[in-house]
Structure 1
Amino acid sequence: MKRFGLVLLLMCIVGSKKVPQRIVDSWINMVKPFQEVCGKTYGISSELARDVLINANPPNERSYQCYSSCIIREVGYLTHNRIFNITVLMEKVPFIPQELIRRCVPDAASDDDLCEKSYKNLNCLLQGMAED
């Protein structure tokens, strides 16, 4: 957990791109019912999850990867068959451009590891939404 704090501090110093507040707020409201369970299971605080989202730079750590997987499964974006449900994400977070969602899904879809698959997709979405 201390390592996450250090990574987060470095991200804030080095990176200046941010995800727009309307998207951050929409995402946080969508995942709020699942934050406690997923966060507790993988050791990710709601503060860390919010900061990572705002700064568009999730730590490439196994616990965060699996936390991402937990959240997107609970939201319904990742089905039980390990397939990304693009329609669910477009309905629940309409601020994310459809073309970005369609671009990010193939980048991660072939990955067999559910945690890595989820992390790659989330990272692609965050990088695509971040603005200077």
Structure 2
Amino acid sequence: MCLECLKLRGVLKAGNRMNVGTNHGDAHAFKLDTLLKLVDVKGADGKTTLLHFVVQEIIRTEGARLSGASQNPDDAKCRKLGLQVVSGLSSKLTSVKKSTAMDSDVLSSDVSKVSRGLANISEVVRLIET
């Protein structure tokens, strides 16, 4: 799974934890415009948003991963590497934006066609083998 997908999964998990006990607490996906609402969720200090937290976690974890630092993941080298990852996210998420424009009914229909085609190919291979 790509790094960006893992980060989006982290946002989904955070939302699910925040909504435990509600009908939103076991979500399997979210709309991309939900990411815009991350700035509306504020911490106890009234300034830090959920978006700040997510970005800080990406910087910390990716910086530590890239530098191999297991002792002190908050040092300057780790932060610099983590910031490079964050600065490159927007260009890497362009395919996600494109995928939101795809109609789910069209996608479902295409997947069904591919599935039927694979079944037909399997049948032909079985007939050839016999």
Greater relative CO (CA pairs within 8 A, separation 6+):
1
Same fold (TM over 0.5): no
Query: TM-score, normalising length from structure 1?
Result: 0.29
Larger Rg: 2
Query: TM-score, normalising length from structure 2?
Result: 0.29
